Each structure stands twice: as C-alpha cells, then as structure tokens.
A = this chain, B = another copy of it.
Amino acid sequence: MSLFQATLGRHIDLSDADKDLLSSFEHQPQTANKHQRLWGPRMRVGDLFILQSGWACSIRATSDGEQQVIELLLPGDIIGLREFTFSHHITEASMLTRGTIQPLHHANIVDVIAASTPLAIALFAIISRQEALLTERMLMALHRSARSRLLHFVIETYLRLDKVQAITLAAFDFPVSQRLLGSILGLSPVHINRILKTLEQDEILKKFRGHIEVYDAQRLFDEAQFDSDYLGNEMHGLKQRLALLSPGAA
C-alpha cells in the first residue's frame, strides 16, 4: 500500500474498490528536483501533486517583500488540496528537497468524491487537519515567544514525520535552513540564529545543516507547551455513519 493510501486510511477504512481507485492515480511517479517549482501565483489551477518522497512547501510573497511559507508538505501529503476549488493559485509551490511526486488533475478529485463517499470524507478529514495545523500556527504566532514557537514547530514536524515513518527524536532529518525557518515562523533569520544559539547553549537541541539532534526532550516539550490534540486522527461518529451508508459495498 502506498504512502498516499496510508495517509487517507489513517482516517477511514478503505474498501478494496477505494484502493483500486486510488491506485489508478498513482501510475508513474516523477522525480522532482530541489527548488523545482510546481506552480506560481495567478496560474490556473491544474494538477495537484501527491508527494511521495521529499519535502515541499507553498509560499506567498508578502507586501513587505518577504516570503511567508504557508504550509510545509511532507511525504504522503497532497500538494495543493487547499486550492483545488479555486480557479487560480494565490500561492507558489515548490520542492524544498529532491523527491518524487505524482501529478493528479484537480478535476479528478471530483471523480474521487463522486465515486466514493468514504474517500470524500477522508479528503475532508485531511483538509480539516491542515486547517487545524494552520490554526495552531496562528495561535503560536500571536501568543508565544519566538523561542517557544520554534520549539513548537520542531515538535510538530517531528510528530508529522513520525506518523509517516517511525523516526527518532534524538536525531532526525530536517532539511530547513535558518532563513527558511524564518519564512515559516514569520521571524527574521537573524533572530532565528540567536534562538538556535541559546537552544544549543541550554543543551536542548542543535540544528545542523540537514538534521536536528535533540538533547533534552523533556525541556523541549515543557518549553513548547505542546498539546497534540490538533493532530489527532479519530473520527468515531462518522465511521459509524459511513458503515450504515454502504453495508455491502465492496
């Protein structure tokens, strides 16, 4: 089963028909280079991309001449799901690392929704969780210090990665420059650097070029005041309703 199916299956139980339908969209994954641009602002919405390996992001240019990262996309995510009902892109999307992607025309999402209610609900679950991620980031931006925000983001990213493929907190891949960290958190690169410096001095963690090493997980979580409620996958009530809808569906 592919990463993408696993992502959808995290929220609902996939029937064999659902799996077949999804497989038909995952034919020949393409290799995407680092910094490869998938679309830009004002471009017509066409293909979305299932990210099968590597990291990507969507970006907006801000009025003050900076770049703001809107969402960080990890393996298993759908790049552009949040914009598939728009006629034109507002964001730019590009790869942060080399990776593999699977194009999927936005109209095909309509086909998926028409073909399978469970898959439609799973897509709602995914988009709702993206929104929850965004909400949490806004909360952090408005009510937390830069240091706490950075720690929060490290934990969030670790947990998202760990869900896709088990990794260790003591040392995990993190191909994000200080400048990019600033674009994600809305902080200046200079300040990011100062924070990382103190985190290293305090023996909490150290960010290297391509990875992070965590020395003191306890203090990491304490200072980040991380509450993982918003990352949950459970959907009790709706699963029952879905079962009722198609008791004999293959």
Contact = CB atoms under 8 A, between A and B. Distances in A.
A134 B132 contact: no
Interface residues of A, number: 60
A124 B234 contact: no
B143 A68 contact: yes
A216 interface: no
A232 to B, nearest CB: 7
A2 interface: no
A222 B231 CA distance: 39
Contacts of A45: 237
Interface in A2-58: 11, 44-46
B87 A128 contact: no
Given A107-B241, A237-B45, A245-B114, A62 B143 contact: yes
A147 interface: no
A208 interface: no
B82 A142 contact: no
A225 interface: yes
Given A86-B235, A138-B141, A141-B142, 12 more contacts: A62-B143, A63-B144, A68-B139, A70-B135, A84-B238, A85-B238, A113-B113, A113-B124, A123-B124, A130-B131, A131-B131, A138-B138
